[in-house]
Chain A
Amino acid sequence: MSGITPISKDAAKFEPAAAPAALQKCVAEVGKVLLGKQDQIRMALCCLLARGHLLIEDLPGMGKTTLAHALGDALGLEYRRIQFTSDMLPADVLGTSIFKRDSGEFQFVEGPIFTQLLLADEINRTTPKTQSALLEAMEEKQVSIDGVTRPLPEPFFVIATQNPGSQSGTYALPESQLDRFLMRIEVGYPGHDAEREMLRAGLGEQHRKPVSQQMGLEQLFALQKQVDIQKVSDTLLDYLQRLVDYSRSNPDFAYGLSPRGALALLQSAKAAALLENRAHVIPEDVQAVLPWVAAHRLAPAGGTMSGALGLVAQMLDSVDVL
């Protein structure tokens, strides 16, 4: 992976990097445990600010869990983790009602989903039934069991990880489910220097450095609200719509971006602008988030070749910014 966005560096040059100190600190803090992955950390934050959910797709041992855990710590979120297995049932995620002998009543025992930051590890190891129970809860931000609807905590942020579909013993998420995730990112191998540093320090799951909290809930809510009111000009919407139209009209695409995909792209771009401490969105923001918002919502015509990222690159190259 050649860095998430080479262009955003120019943007940083132009608007002096003075993002809200807390956000910057968050990135730095998480960066302490996930070395050399600034861009991925920024995208994860971006996703959180845009109130979306994040899917991390990569091989085992690339630091997916580390990223999720560190992010939870840095933002001071209540954190839980589900390790998905193939024999897991929806009740194991959502919770279940248990008969209490002493009171003679059923009592609801919350599942691990009742948390602010949920790490759904290896989501494609479990059956579609359990997957969809989780994904529905993500979409609705509430859980309905035995006729009672229980709201999930605020904020509710899911980081799901999955192994690439080609690995054995997995149930690939269908396209309709992938769409529930605002972004899909890959972590990728660390750079040479970062890996050397990691090896030298002996960093790993076992001896993780403590990550200190950088932000309170109030601050997080405020930032999320700020994302909603980011300034978006017609010139920018023109660009965004040209991108979406391109994906719909070019025969290389099996299908184009949906309206939900277009909204996701805009929301993410707004969050990316906020990370740059800017109150309006510029094309660089769209370009920065496009691969991670669009790639899992697109497929090349024919569907047999993997290459959605190639399609996005083609889209970026072919669509005029102005």
Chain B
Amino acid sequence: MSTASQIPRNSIIWLLLAQLVVILPHTGRMSWWMIAIWLLCALWRMAMFRGEASYPGRAVRGVLVMLGSIGVAVSFGSVGGLDFAVALLILAFSLKLIEVRTRRDMFLVFNLALFIVAASFLFSQSVFLALYQIGSIVLIFTAMVATQHALHNRAPLLSLRKSLRLVAQAVPVMLLFFLVFPRIPPIWSVPTSGGGAGTGMSDSIEPGDIAKLNQSSKLAFVVEFESTRPPSIEMYWRGITLEDFDGRKWSAADSAVSVGDRSRREELTEQIELYGVPLRYTLIVEPTKKNWLFALPVAQLQTDADRAGMKGIFYTADYNLRKRTPLSERSELKVESYLDYRADWTLSQQARKNNLRLPRRSNPRARSLAQQMYARTGSTEQFVLAMQRYFLEKDFFYTLEPPELGRHTVDEFVFDTRKGYCEHYANAFAFMLRAAGVPARVVVGYQGGEVNPHNNTLSVRQLDAHAWLEYWQAGEGWLRLDPTYTVAPERINFGLEGALARRPELGASRLSPLYLRNLAMIKSVRLRLDAINHSWQRWVVNFDASQQRRVFERLMGSADPWKLGLIVAGVLGAMLALLSFIILRPGAKDTRSPEHKLYRRFCRKMQKRLQLRRGKAETPLAFAARIAAQAPQCAEQADAITRQYMQIAYAGESGLKQFKRSVERFRPRRPAS
């Protein structure tokens, strides 16, 4: 191998470091054995570095590639999918380590590294990852620079310095492109990663589902209110109404989505009256891979957001927001909600039937209790009050760890265990209302949220998931009823975490991470970091075509394409001009003696007129000799000027004036042809 293609040793060390840093953010998605493979390759490479091992043979590499690929396929269960692709990429990246021989090979590895860095943003776009990956890029560039240094360069930090300078120089260009580069909607869709299931709402619940959900502190969405924030008790983030009950499970009726999808908000006013001033806010929704959106009832898109291309969103018959395609990326919605409303004051026969339907022979005890109570009270209003009173008096208990229930969930809950979580109460109330002949349905969504004092946003997490119900009263329409509030008002007033802090007996031993989250110091740091990340999401990640247009409109009045083009060309041109000026500035280094400047002038004249350029290492005398040989017509003058210069610059003699005159008078003649 020629020394020209050999890889400098520093570069290998930097590469190993860069690989470690690049792979690290992906370790959560990788199997342990993949990390082992990388370690093996790294150790092997180190052994090669120290001359203790040689390159693996073709057979060894082949076996490693085969086993690795099969391992990845087995580990990820399927071929295809994002996780699988990234894992395969990382495997190749690791194995390449024991294969690189020449500088050219190294560049393949660097490209892979950059690609893996880019791939990490498919999984997270937080500001912390972004900062981390800037570090990764610096390291990759360092290894790249080191590849170009001398084979035995002993100054590894020199590469780092150069790489830092490179990245720093790229920052203004990056900012410019961030601002002006057209935001093209994705041409292909990224396959969804398999890890999405498990967290997030589903469109059916049975007892225990929400309690499970509540153990995750994963973010569901963030809210920015334009004016004052409503009190916690008003914040019921409504998402899905569940009408079908099979005796155990409540699920969304297909009809709710397919019938009466309305994509224009005018149609919303058919069976609904909205009062007062709407509450305006922005929702920043985490990707759920689901269609539903959560908002305060009754919500509609703000008009300008409507125009700004929030397409594919429609209103369901039960006044929820839906997206036609699953939410695969974080999105921003500008929403306004009328908290004061009257909906569906008349109920169609079909709807009435749907919301009264109960499985026969299900929960007989609760059914008869409800019918007795209704008979005693006589009106829906009084019946609901009586139910609430019943649940208060009978010593019902709110707990995160309710006992398991058998076939007749409502019966067992109401008469035996009396320990339940929000879905137990919603389940029991809805059932009993229906049993008594009052149309009712279960609603799932989120309740409350955590206020971040640093940026005044509200974070709603999975642990805020909640279930309540709505019943229908003639003339009033659908009314919200939250039995949890009756039993455990602190859950609603202070949120789940607040309730746990006040009443540890709620059974939070399994939720100890939740306690940790709320230790004063950790909480304040966490909220601060959340605020930073939120601003990042808001202003950087979500900087889309419409925001871009807004920025330009603010800067220049309008955002015509030609203006954008002009800005890009202008700024790039200005940067290039600045660079060229710095590099090519005439007489850039001439801060020295006058005779030096004069001699340079002589050289410039020679170059301009006769294309004779003094080489860097060429002394004045040698230059004069060359002039004599190549342009004899100037030999005499050039010789005289050189002689004068030498006398002044080296012998320390005077005669600057004369020298100046000679240089000024000097006109290199072209050869007489």
Contact = CB atoms under 8 A, between A and B. Distances in A.
Contact of B652 (A7, A14, A280): A280
Contacts of B600: 322
A122 B643 CA distance: 45
B652 A231 contact: yes
B153 A251 contact: yes
A296 B201 CA distance: 77
B652 A233 contact: yes
A287 interface: yes
A10 B652 CA distance: 21
Nearest to A254: B154
Contact of B651 (A233, A234, A305): A233
A33 to B, nearest CB: 32
Name B's interface SS.
loop
B155 interface: yes
B651 A279 contact: yes
A69 to B, nearest CB: 35
B656 to A, nearest CB: 13
Contacts of B646: 282
Contacts of A234: 593
B596 A13 contact: no
Interface stretch (B59-67, B181-189, B445-453, B619-627): B619-627
A301 B150 contact: yes
Contact of A321 (B593, B618, B643): B618
A300 B152 CA distance: 9
Given A10-B625, A319-B617, A321-B617, A235 B650 contact: yes
B158 interface: yes
Contact of B596 (A14, A235, A319): A235
* From A13, A14, A319, residue with most partner B Cβ within 10 Å: A14
A319 B422 CA distance: 81
B616 A319 contact: yes
A303 B152 contact: yes
A262 interface: no
Interface residues on B, range: 20 to 34
B616 A280 contact: no
A2 interface: no
Contacts of A10: 619, 621-622, 624-625
A132 to B, nearest CB: 27
B621 A282 contact: yes
Contacts of A303: 152
A221 to B, nearest CB: 25
A316 B650 contact: no
A280 B651 contact: yes
Nearest to A252: B150
Nearest to B9: A302
Given A251-B153, A301-B153, A318 B616 contact: yes
Interface in A81-127: none
A285 to B, nearest CB: 9
Contacts of A252: 150, 153
B650 A302 contact: no
A176 interface: no
* From B149, B153, B617, B652, residue with most partner A Cβ within 10 Å: B617
A304 B150 CA distance: 12
Interface in B489-536: none
Contacts of B152: 300-305
Given A233-B650, A279-B651, A284 B619 contact: yes
Interface in B643-667: 643, 646, 649-652
Contacts of A319: 616-617
A31 B600 CA distance: 41
B621 A235 contact: no
A295 interface: no
A146 interface: no
Interface of B: 149-155, 158, 592-593, 596, 599-600, 616-622, 624-625, 643, 646, 649-652
Give 8 nearest A-B pairs by CB, closest first.
A302-B152, A235-B649, A280-B651, A283-B619, A10-B625, A282-B650, A320-B616, A233-B650
Interface of A: 7, 10-11, 13-14, 231, 233-236, 238, 251-252, 254, 279-284, 287, 300-305, 316-322
16 contacts: A7-B621, A10-B619, A10-B622, A10-B624, A233-B649, A235-B649, A251-B153, A251-B154, A282-B650, A300-B150, A302-B152, A303-B152, A305-B152, A318-B617, A321-B620, A322-B600
